[in-house]
Amino acid sequence: MKLEIGKIVIRDIQFSDITKIDQGILHINKEEMIAELSTDMRIKSIDLDIAKPGEDVRIIPVKDVIEPRVKVAGSGGIFPGMISPVDTVGSGRTHALKGMAVVTTGRIVGFQEGIIDMSGEGARYTPFSKLINLVITCEPIDKIDAHEHEEAVRMIGLKAATWLGMLGKDLEPDELLTYETKPLLEQVAQYPELPKVVYVYMLQSQGLLHDTYVYGVDVKKIIPSIIYPTEVFDGAILSGNCVSACDKNPTYVHQNHPIIEDLYALHGKEYNFLGVVITNENVYLADKKRSSDMTAKLVEFMGADAVIISEEGFGNPDADLVMNCNKISAKGIMTVLMTDEYAGQDGASQSLADSTPAGDAVVTGGNANQLIVLKPMKKVIGHPEAAHKIAGGHQGSLREDGSIEAEIQLITGSTSEVGFHNLSAKGY
């Protein structure tokens, strides 16, 4: 499967009369776009805002971040099974609007959405402060269940990104990248002398409102399977979850998956990147056992010499991470784990809920319990009082002057477990 990604750099977003991309500037007719998105009876009102890097702006509570993309050639459409009809994606050509994102806000669960600050200390902790964000504020009707609200806001965000992505279909990209993975036996034969690497991609599936979708299927209902890495670049996997903001993968991260991009970077040079095994993190022990058995079996079946395993979320998924590690290691395959930590505000507590002597290396995305003070902002898009309840915050987190004292857990993407973030470690 071979996919070209054409990057169209967006330098600015402006509201204007006609919706178009001209000279790298995205013009949006606000009324037209709101009308396009206003098809869900469960949503009372929709508003659009633009938040730019460096501005005195806070977005709270953030549900999802999505990159506008469009299929230019090849089968299927973006977000297959959810927005486009079910069809295999990952080949041909896709255009992406770079430097911008669609951000959805909504007080859905209340404690499991995040914050994006566009300036100040908080902005340093979220990768999304570097993007020009088109923020969609959705207010639901009075009587709505949380899961219905989640679905409505999820679909509006995906629809908005798809609608904007269409504008890039006929444009000449600023940059064109090519990614290719061959069918397994051919891929193995292409670089027979190099070590064979598989990526084990754990997806959040802890239950209602903690869901991820693959080709429209709720991930808690899958048994692990193999996908071509390029399928994720076309939105085959997307976020439907309201879990702690710091270490879930917003849809934008699935679309721009840093582990997959990095594995491609040295593919054919240092190792042979065979493909991706997707698996879940369910709340029944039998599911955890079955999925980790299946994951280890698939990795062995593919002939991997080494795997990278990334977790999404924390708590009981730590058990899935450890089970995957133990079972894959037991087959004589090297394992590198990627996770983050909940080691307490002083960093002295046990970092994960489970542990194991197996495994060859662990990479941490940082300690989510680290304290931070976010400055007051001139403009707040959304509901600032959500700070009292968001995981990482506490009653009193939002101070009278508008500043917020909380753990970095409440910042969207601050301790990414796939490395899509800004934290790093220094040796002294």
Contact between 283 and another protein (CB under 8 A)?
yes
Nearest C-alpha neighbor of 281 from the set 327, 246, 324, 343: 324
Contact between 330 and another protein (CB under 8 A)?
no
Per-residue interface string for the shown chain with another protein, residues 105-144, x marking contact by CB under 8 A: ----------------------------------------
Binding another protein by CB under 8 A: which of 16, 316, 364, 403?
316
Contact between 171 and another protein (CB under 8 A)?
no
Distance between CA atoms of residues 200 and 52, nearest Å = 35
* Cβ distance to another protein smaller for residue 117 or 312: 312
Buried b (16+ CB within 10 A) or exposed e, 17-42: eebebeeeebbbeeeebbeebeebeb
* Cβ distance to another protein smaller for residue 35 or 208: 208
Contact between 285 and another protein (CB under 8 A)?
yes
Neighbours of 367 (CB within 10 A): 22
Contact between 327 and another protein (CB under 8 A)?
no
Contact between 207 and another protein (CB under 8 A)?
yes
Contact between 206 and another protein (CB under 8 A)?
yes
Binding another protein by CB under 8 A: which of 323, 368, 372, 406?
323
Contact between 219 and another protein (CB under 8 A)?
no
Nearest C-alpha neighbor of 243 from the set 395, 111, 401: 111
Contacts to another protein from residues 12-41, by CB under 8 A: none
Neighbour-count burial of 191, counting CB atoms closer than 10 A to its CB (0-12 exposed, 13-18 middle, 19+ buried): middle
Helix or strand or coil: residue 383? coil
Contact between 353 and another protein (CB under 8 A)?
yes
Binding another protein by CB under 8 A: which of 167, 322, 328, 343?
322
Contact between 354 and another protein (CB under 8 A)?
yes
Report phi then psi at 370, rounded to 5. -60, 135
* Cβ distance to another protein smaller for residue 196 or 288: 288
Closest approach, Cβ 340 to another protein, in A, equals: 18
Distance between CA atoms of residues 60 and 165, nearest Å = 25
* Cβ distance to another protein smaller for residue 4 or 318: 318
Neighbour-count burial of 300, counting CB atoms closer than 10 A to its CB (0-12 exposed, 13-18 middle, 19+ buried): middle
* Cβ distance to another protein smaller for residue 316 or 403: 316
Neighbour-count burial of 183, counting CB atoms closer than 10 A to its CB (0-12 exposed, 13-18 middle, 19+ buried): exposed
Contact between 349 and another protein (CB under 8 A)?
no
Residue 138 bears catalytic tag: no
Closest approach, Cβ 137 to another protein, in A, equals: 30
Q: Which of 138, 242, 246, 325 is catalytic?
A: 242
Report phi then psi at 424, rounded to 5. -145, 170
Distance between CA atoms of residues 329 and 309, nearest Å = 11
Neighbours of 73 (CB within 10 A): 11
* Cβ distance to another protein smaller for residue 79 or 314: 314
Side-chain half-sphere CA neighbours of 326 within 13 A: 15
Report phi then psi at 302, rounded to 5. -75, -15
Segment interacting with another protein (CB under 8 A) among 62-70, 106-114, 133-141, 277-285: 277-285
# of chain residues touching another protein (CB under 8 A): 15
Contact (Cβ atoms closer than 8 angstroms) between residue 345 and residue 406: no
The position carrying tokens 């809920």 is 353
Which amino acid type is present at position 417?
E
Closest approach, Cβ 108 to another protein, in A, equals: 18
Contact (Cβ atoms closer than 8 angstroms) between residue 209 and residue 146: yes
Contact between 357 and another protein (CB under 8 A)?
no
Segment interacting with another protein (CB under 8 A) among 74-82, 269-277, 278-286, 335-343: 278-286
Binding another protein by CB under 8 A: which of 58, 257, 267, 288?
288
Residues forming the active site: 242
Binding site for another protein (CB under 8 A): 206-207, 283-285, 288, 316, 318-319, 322-323, 353-356
